[in-house]
Amino acid sequence: MIKRILLLAVLLVLAWLLWSGLYKPLLLGLGVFSCLLTLYVVRRMGYFDNEVFALRYNLRLVGFWGWLGREIVKSSIEVAQIVLRPSLKVEPKVVALGADDLEPLDQALLGNSITLTPGTLTLDVHEGRILVHSLTAAGADAVLEGEMKRRVSALRQG
Amino acid sequence: MYYVVTIATFLTMALALIRAILGPSVYDRVLAVNMFGTKTVLLLSVIAFLYGRPDFLDLALAYALINFIGVLAVLEFFRARVARREAENREGA
Amino acid sequence: MDLALDIGSWILLTLGGVSVLIGGIGALRMPDLYSRMHAASVTDSMGAILIILGVMLQAGLSLATIKLAAILLFLLFTSPTASNALASAALLAGNKPRAEVPDTPETSQ
């Protein structure tokens, strides 16, 4: 717990110093004040008690982002074609993806990743069930096929 | 070359404004305003380099924060209103 | 080297401008709220990534790049959260999507 507090404190101080770029006593004092205030508020939210935001899946997360980036590019092109088509016929589809075998944080990560890729949109996450609205039937099938879910749950292992 | 991006962003902001005026539901308007806000952040980052003034980046970040919190606050407000109306309906029935 | 960087960032910025514009057109043309959100998502994720990366190439290795990276990360973290809040609020308020909503969770895989 002490380690996590110290890590966050160092990050906050670095962010303040880099951002302001001014080293006058008043501004440094304000910086110390805001860092301490942030630590207090974050502690009151119970951030340090349980592992809410794990910094530990660091490197594998970068790989996931790379994959997500490619997905975003691919589906952006698809959505762009649909948008620019003169007839503009869309047949949206809503599907539910069961995700109760994932940790809450991973469910949030999965939901956000689904929203981030154009063409699929998380409507609701409730009791381990992710409602996904998709612009095309093919997109909905791709979500149900579950490659993204596999990749998200693979982040946790090891 | 920054001008291409700047003009595209301005056009998109105009389109978002039209969508915000057309509506039809309140959520379409919130969507349009959110889009407008994101475009403002991008525009500010491009302008920082167009005019060679890196301090605009701080404004961009601050605007991103305000936009996010603002959209969430507005949505929370509408959600509370919907919940209250439903509760009143249930009492009346 | 400088020329290559310039060309790269020019391509990124132009593509970013195009995708931002496509998203804007989509948000105007699409028939219902949820489809519009898909179009807005093109500007929010694709446009933001391309434009900020393009500007980052111009900035080179400097404090501005770190700030731009922070802005991009922040945008990518918050925009799905905001769309999610918007979608679930609209759904709760009875704004029905133009497709049937399933009740039972289908099994994945």
Domain ranges of chain B: 2-92
Does one domain contain both A18 and A70? no
3-state SS, residue A132: strand
Question: CB of A98 within 8 Å of any CB in chain C?
Answer: yes
CA distance linking residue C77 with residue A144, whole number of Å: 23
Question: CB of C45 within 8 Å of any CB in chain B?
Answer: no
CA distance linking residue A88 with residue B58, whole number of Å: 39
Residue A52 inside a domain? The answer is no
The residue with tokens 């029905």 is C96
Containing structural domain, residue C7: 2-81
Does one domain contain both A143 and A108? yes
Cβ atoms of residues A132 and A122 within 8 Å: yes
Of B35, B72, B79, give the one whose Cα is nearest residue C24: B35
What is the number of domains present in chain A? 2
Distance to chain B for C25, nearest Cα, Å: 7
Residue C29 inside a domain? The answer is yes
Residues of B in contact with C27 (CB under 8 A): 15-16, 19, 31-32, 35
Residue C90 inside a domain? The answer is no
Residue A94 inside a domain? The answer is yes
Whether residues C55 and B45 touch (CB distance < 8 A) is answered with yes
The answer to whether residue B3 scores a pLDDT higher than 50 is yes
Order across the sheet with A120-126: list the strands: A93-98, A129-134, A120-126
Cβ atoms of residues C49 and C72 within 8 Å: yes
| Residue pLDDT, tens place only, B19-69 | 888 878 888 888 898 999 999 999 998 888 888 888 888 888 889 999 999
Cβ atoms of residues B9 and B43 within 8 Å: yes
CA distance linking residue B28 with residue B46, whole number of Å: 27
Residue A50 inside a domain? The answer is no
In the DSSP assignment, the letter for residue C106 is B
Dihedral angle sign, alpha carbons of residues B53, B58, B60, B63: negative
The answer to whether residue C108 scores a pLDDT higher than 50 is no
Q: Among all residues of chain C, which has the CA nearest to that of B32? A: C27
Q: What residues of chain C, 60 to 99, have a C-beta less than 8 Å from chain A? A: 63, 66-67, 76-77, 79-81, 83-84, 87-88, 91, 97-99
Cβ atoms of residues B6 and B46 within 8 Å: yes
Q: What is the pLDDT at residue C105?
A: 44
Question: CB of A136 within 8 Å of any CB in chain C?
Answer: no
Of A61 and B59, the one with more pLDDT = B59
Containing structural domain, residue A30: 2-44
Question: CB of A72 within 8 Å of any CB in chain C?
Answer: yes
| Residue pLDDT, tens place only, C46-95 | 888 999 988 888 887 788 888 888 889 888 888 888 888 888 888 877 77
Does one domain contain both A20 and A90? no
| B/C interface, count of CB pairs below 8 Å | 140
